């Protein structure tokens, strides 16, 4: 019985080291690997990447407006009748035809914008802002998937540690059962002691079965998130510590404002809406361009049917004067969208400030509870050792030993849960300020 206290102490340490032992396995799935796999599989990421590709394509489209535009044209026209002029000279009677009946024309037309007076530039800025918005939204999708994976990963870790603690308790109880049966044979104890221990072993084994069932469900959730088959074994390992952060609320709010994807996306959307207002105001700006057309056609005197090279160049100036109020309405619409975007940005800022405040409070409270449970384990350990000594000296019952052991077991389980809750709360604080984990 003297070494049972040492066994329990090693059990407490073993519960914390179990995941580190598993980390040495080649089949262990690390948190960073799980996050990468989840991001590759997430449908929302495909949606975000498509939106980014669309924004880039829209930018390329607007860029093309300022580039030369080349088109090929070909036409045929039959004209009947055509104007003819008869004339006579001594010994000669002729009919002069003003144009051919069969008209052929093939040419290339080159157009180039010379000056758009700011119209194309405004549209270009809108498109560039749209690309940044799409990129920030994609980062927001990545963050959501990364932290969802982290939560499930830590849930499995917590369950694994709980199972390890309970299995250690079964081992200790079986040793206690052996001693109780020995004492019963020696006549220093009754069969009630062994029966109580057996009942306790059965209850603990039932708890282990419940935990293993929970673990299977958690593993199924993680496999689905990672796109793994149902036969894939999931073994997790305790990850390294998350990036450390200051515990000053103002500093955390400033950090979140600078890197939280939702804030960045909202600000980008606001900036895009502002640029849309400027672009709408430029819709009636003049446009100066040039056009050069060259090709072959017939219809030239004196041989109307002969195909000849030809070209024409022009400089065009287009200035919309009256559009029935369309531009004014477009500006009003864009300004309303801008005001709505400003409101969404402010709402996002308030929501994220609340996220940071809550995450910081949760982390600090979790750390305090973890410190308290360490004291509780020390006290429960001492109580268990005292109960063991008293039982050996005949001044305490086996029920006293089981009660003390149960208190120690609960403290160990609570420590395993709080240990990972504290680490997860650190990740949650990083999530609140927008620290990228992918």
Q: What is the pLDDT along the chain (438 residues), one digit of tens a residue?
A: 333 333 333 343 343 334 343 333 447 899 889 999 999 888 888 888 898 899 999 889 888 888 899 999 999 999 999 888 887 777 677 778 888 999 999 999 999 988 888 888 888 888 898 898 888 888 888 888 998 998 899 899 889 988 988 898 888 888 888 888 887 888 777 788 888 888 888 988 999 999 999 999 999 999 999 989 988 899 998 887 777 888 898 999 999 998 888 888 899 889 999 998 988 888 888 889 999 999 999 988 888 889 999 999 999 998 888 888 888 898 999 999 999 999 999 999 999 999 999 999 999 999 998 888 888 888 888 888 888 788 777 777 777 877 887 888 888 888 878 888 888 888 889 889 988 876
The answer to whether residue 193 is domain-embedded is yes
Beta-strand pair 102-115/287-297: antiparallel
Structural domain count, the chain: 1
What CATH number does residue 201 fall under? 1.20.1600.10
The answer to whether residue 349 is domain-embedded is no
The answer to whether residue 104 is domain-embedded is no
For residue 145, what are the domain limits? 4-66+117-284+354-433
366 vs 369: CA distance, rounded Å: 5
Short-list 231, 220, 225, 240, CA closest to 34: 225
Distance (Å) of CA 1 to CA 4, 246, 299, 397: 5, 48, 119, 15
Helix axes 261-281, 249-259, angle to 10 degrees: 50
Rounded to 5°, angle at Cα 112 from 109 and 116 = 145
The answer to whether residue 40 is domain-embedded is yes
The answer to whether residue 358 is domain-embedded is yes
Structure tokens at 172: 């200790």
Q: Give the phi and the psi of residue 26 in degrees, each rounded to 5.
A: -70, -20
Contact by Cβ (8 Å): 294, 309: yes
Task: Give every CB contact of residue 84 below 8 A, 6+ residues apart in sequence.
Answer: 95, 96, 97, 98
44 vs 48: CA distance, rounded Å: 6
332 vs 327: CA distance, rounded Å: 9
The answer to whether residue 369 is domain-embedded is yes
* pTM exceeds cut of 0.75: no
Report the half-sphere exposure of 380 (CA within 13 A, side-chain side): 23
Cα 174 from chain centre? 48
The answer to whether residue 252 is domain-embedded is yes
Rounded to 5°, angle at Cα 154 from 153 and 155 = 90
């Amino acid at each position: 019985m003297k070494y049972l206290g040492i066994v329990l102490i090693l059990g407490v340490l073993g519960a914390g080291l179990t995941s580190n032992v598993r980390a040495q396995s080649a089949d262990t799935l690390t948190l960073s690997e799980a996050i990468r796999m989840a991001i590759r599989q997430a449908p929302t990421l495909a949606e975000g990447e498509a939106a980014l590709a669309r924004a880039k394509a829209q930018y390329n489209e607007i860029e093309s407006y300022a580039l030369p535009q080349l088109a090929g044209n070909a036409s045929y026209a039959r004209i009947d009748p055509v104007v003819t002029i008869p004339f006579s000279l001594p010994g000669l009677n002729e009919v002069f035809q003003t144009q051919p009946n069969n008209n052929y024309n093939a040419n290339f037309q080159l157009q180039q914008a010379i000056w758009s007076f700011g119209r194309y530039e405004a549209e270009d800025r809108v498109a560039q802002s749209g690309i940044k918005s799409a990129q920030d939204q994609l980062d927001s999708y990545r963050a959501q998937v990364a932290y969802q994976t982290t939560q499930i990963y830590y849930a499995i870790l917590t369950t694994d540690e709980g199972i390890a603690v309970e299995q250690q308790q079964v081992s200790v109880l079986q040793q206690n059962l052996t001693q109780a049966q020995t004492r019963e044979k020696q006549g220093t104890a009754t069969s009630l002691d062994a029966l109580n221990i057996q009942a306790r072993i059965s209850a603990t084994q039932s708890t282990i079965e419940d935990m293993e069932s929970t673990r299977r469900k958690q593993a199924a959730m993680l496999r689905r998130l990672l796109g793994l088959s149902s036969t894939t074994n999931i073994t997790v390992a305790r990850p390294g510590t998350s990036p450390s952060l200051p515990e000053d609320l103002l500093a955390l709010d400033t950090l979140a404002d600078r890197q939280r994807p939702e804030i960045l996306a909202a600000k980008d959307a606001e900036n895009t809406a502002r640029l849309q207002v400027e672009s709408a105001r430029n819709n009636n700006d003049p446009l100066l361009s040039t056009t050069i057309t060259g090709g072959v056609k017939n219809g030239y005197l004196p041989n109307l049917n002969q195909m000849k090279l030809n070209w024409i160049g022009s400089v065009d100036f287009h200035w919309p004067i009256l559009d029935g109020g369309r531009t004014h309405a477009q500006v009003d619409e864009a300004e309303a969208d801008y005001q709505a975007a400003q409101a969404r940005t402010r709402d996002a800022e308030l929501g994220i400030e609340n996220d940071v405040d809550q995450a910081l409070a949760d982390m600090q409270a979790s750390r305090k509870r973890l410190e308290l449970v360490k004291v509780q384990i020390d006290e429960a350990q001492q109580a268990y050792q005292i109960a063991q000594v008293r039982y050996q000296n005949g001044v305490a019952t086996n029920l006293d030993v089981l009660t003390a052991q149960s208190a120690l077991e609960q403290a160990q389980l609570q420590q395993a849960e709080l240990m990972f809750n504290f680490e997860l709360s650190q990740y949650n604080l990083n999530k609140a300020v927008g620290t990228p984990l992918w």
